[in-house]
Structure formats: structure tokens, C-alpha cells
């Protein structure tokens, strides 16, 4: 999905708690335009929006907060235990997210035709979004690192943390499909050095 002859769209993904958000922040600080699919997903389900109405109809009012906003923890508890319901949620939200991503990418390209756009998408390969980008980056980490981070960051028990990890495509499969791989287990200094070198390469491609 290239909006100008020079601009490139990079799909950034990884497993849960591999360090993908840290990598995205590093790219942003280096000058890339970063579009966060999770942030867009929160925006498109604000109360009263078409996606919000569809979610309320599909999952009931039990997944809403008192103010009408989607209770992400309650909804996550439902969809991470049921693959069919998770797919149902994805089918509701993803078209609205894709529309907003295209709008933001087009706007960024208008401002700077040679911009490097990083599209940060947890389910890049699972949802086929990799077919809409020019290149892909996968951030990996050992499963033990993912479990530790999820338990510390999200307060999950081991079973729930493992369920979150297993709800996504295995990291080794993602890595085989990637154009570039970054190790999210590296020290911040090592990771920043790798990201900086990769960004220089991407700028040459743009």
C-alpha cells in the first residue's frame, strides 16, 4: 500500500511482551511516522461509534464500563478464552482500524513523500495485514521473557499469561516471514543500536 513512489510502509509486529512497543518508540524518536494499531483500535470503539455498537450487540453490555466505554479487561477475558469470539471481535474492529490507518498514512505522505511509516500491528500476519505493507519487522523474545513481563506488567497468573501468548501465531513462524528480526531480549543499548541501523537502511529505501 504505497501512496507515493518514495514512501515505504513497514509492518512492525512480534509476540505479546516481546518489546515491540519499545522498538516502535525508538523508531518514532529517530524520525519515523509510527501508527499504533492498538491505539486506533481504542479510538474506533469509543461510545456511539459504529464499531462500539457492533461490539455491544455481539458481546452484551457486560463488557462495558459504567460510562459506556469498552472494558478492555472484561472483553479480553472473553475473547482470549474463545477463538471464535476473538475472530468475531477482529472482524468488527479491523476494517475500521484499516480505514483510519490508510487516512493517517496518506496524510503523512502528503507532508513528507519520503517518510518511513511504521505500522505497529500485534496481529500483522494473523489478519493478513502483511500483504498491505512493503516490508515486515518482527520483534522476538524467549517465551520465559514474555511470561515474566506479562506477569509483572499485567499481573496475570502463569496460565493466563501463557494463554495470551498462545493466542497469537508462534514467534518462530512470524520470524520466518519477516524481512528483518529484532531481539527484544537485548539490552536497551543493544536494541537501540540495532533499530538505529535498521532505520538508516529503511531511509535509503524510501
Q: Does the residue 105 lie in any domain?
A: yes
Q: In what order do the strands lie in the sheet with 180-183?
A: 33-36, 116-120, 8-14, 135-140, 180-183
H helix intervals, 112-157: 143-154
Q: Is residue 183 part of a domain?
A: yes
- For residues 145 and 185, the answer to whether their CB atoms sit within 8 Å is yes
The answer to the question of residue 195 being in a domain is yes
Model pLDDT, residue 120: 98
Cα–Cα dist 100/105, whole Å: 9
Q: Give 37-61 pLDDT, tens digit per residue.
A: 999 999 999 999 999 999 999 999 9
| Position 147 in a domain | yes
Would you state the pLDDT for residue 1? Answer: 47
- Count of structural domains within the chain: 1
Evaluate whether residue 172 is within a structural domain. yes
Q: What is the pLDDT of residues 76-87, one digit of tens each?
A: 889 988 989 999
Whether 193 is in a domain gets the answer: yes
Parallel/antiparallel/unpaired status of strands 180-183 and 33-36 = unpaired
Q: What is the pLDDT of residues 86-118, one digit of tens each?
A: 999 999 999 999 999 999 999 999 999 999 999
Half-sphere exposure of 96 (CA within 13 A, CB side): 21
* pLDDT (0 to 100) of residue 135: 97
- Would residue 60 count as lying in a domain? no
Question: Could you tell me the pLDDT band of residue 2, with boundaries at 50, 70 and 90?
Answer: very low
DSSP assignments along 2-28, one per residue: -SSSS-EEEEEEE-TTSSHHHHHHHHH
Average pLDDT, the chain: 93
All 3 cell numbers of residue 36?
499504533
Q: What is the pLDDT at residue 167?
A: 85
Expressed as residue numbers, the domain containing 104 is: 8-42+97-205
CATH number at residue 17: 3.40.50.300
Q: Is position 85 within any domain?
A: no
pLDDT in tens, 182-202: 999 999 999 999 999 999 999
pTM of the model: 0.88
Residues paired with 117 in a beta bridge: 9, 33
Amino acid at each position: 500500500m504505497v501512496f507515493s513512489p518514495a514512501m515505504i510502509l513497514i509492518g512492525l509486529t512480534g509476540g505479546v511482551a516481546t518489546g515491540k512497543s519499545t522498538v516502535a518508540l525508538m523508531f518514532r524518536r529517530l524520525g519515523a511516522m509510527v501508527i499504533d494499531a492498538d491505539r486506533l483500535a481504542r479510538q474506533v470503539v469509543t461510545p456511539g461509534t459504529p464499531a462500539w455498537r457492533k461490539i455491544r450487540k455481539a458481546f452484551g453490555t457486560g463488557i462495558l464500563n459504567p460510562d459506556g466505554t469498552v472494558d478492555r479487561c472484561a472483553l479480553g477475558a472473553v475473547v482470549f478464552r474463545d477463538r471464535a469470539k476473538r475472530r468475531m471481535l477482529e472482524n468488527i474492529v479491523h476494517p475500521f482500524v484499516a480505514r483510519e490507518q490508510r487516512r493517517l498514512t496518506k496524510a503523512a505522505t502528503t507532508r513528507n513523500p519520503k517518510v518511513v511509516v511504521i505500522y505497529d500491528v500485534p496481529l500483522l500476519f494473523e489478519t493478513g495485514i502483511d500483504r498491505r505493507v512493503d516490508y515486515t519487522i518482527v520483534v522476538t523474545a524467549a517465551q520465559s521473557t514474555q511470561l515474566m513481563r506479562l506477569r509483572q506488567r499485567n499481573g496475570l497468573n502463569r496460565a493466563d499469561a501463557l494463554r495470551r501468548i498462545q493466542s497469537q501465531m508462534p514467534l518462530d513462524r512470524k520470524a520466518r516471514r519477516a524481512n528483518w528480526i529484532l531481539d527484544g531480549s537485548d539490552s536497551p543499548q543493544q536494541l537501540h543500536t540495532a533499530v538505529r541501523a535498521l532505520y538508516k537502511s529503511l531511509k535509503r529505501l524510501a
